[in-house]
Amino acid sequence: MIEVFVGDITELEVDAIVNAASRALAGGGGVDGAIHAAAGPELVRASRALGPIETGSAVITPGFRLPARHVIHAVGPIWHGGRQGEAELLERAYETSFERALGAGDVRSIAFPAISAGVYGYPKESAVEIAVRVMRRHEKEFRRIVACAFDERTGTLYRRELSVRPK
């Protein structure tokens, strides 16, 4: 089941939350900052040790002080206008996140922020369309997939995309 939640991803009681990380995996602002602040300083030590990683890839660490047991750190592309493989890289960031979740063996519920759709500048409508397409591909492998929006406008975009019949 794919659900939409509007609010702070760090509060979600799911097995894994996905972080919109930087290649260095060293923490940052936005959702990355919120996740690191809530998880505590152990998280930056654990994640930085696994970096740097390529855009479009993802690694998994414990969630430390978060309600979620795991954090999957995925690196989405920086938007450069759309002709530098951004869509494929964003799709890959979602795909590799699902791979990490399945590889953990105990992840039945997972929540995603809108990767790349903040500081990295990816247009929200297109980012949401890609996110939902990949989520649908993996829907049957999980009990819950949560599309976490931080504002109502993005929540509406997810709801609209989910109401459209898959192509």
Given the rule CB under 6 A, which residues bind ligand APR? 8-10, 20-22, 28-34, 76, 113-120, 148, 150, 154
Please state, in angstroms and rounded to a whole number, the distance separating the CA atoms of residues 6 and 151. Answer: 6
* Angle value at C-alpha 25, between 2 and 144, nearest 5 degrees: 15
Query: Between 124-138 and 86-104, two packed helices, what is the crossing angle to 10 degrees?
Result: 40
Q: Which is nearer to ligand APR, 66 or 165 (by Cβ)?
A: 66
Q: Which one is catalytic: 15, 32, 106, 151?
A: 32
151 catalytically annotated: no
Give CA 122 to chain center in angstroms: 14
Smallest separation (angstroms) from ligand APR to the CB of 152 = 11
Q: Which is nearer to ligand APR, 21 or 110 (CB)?
A: 21
Shortest CA distance to 9 belongs to which of 46, 42, 36, 49? 36
Pick from 67, 60, 73: nearest CA to 8:
67
Shortest Å distance, C-beta 123 to ligand APR: 11
CB of 34 to ligand APR, least distance (A): 4
- Active-site annotation, residues: 32
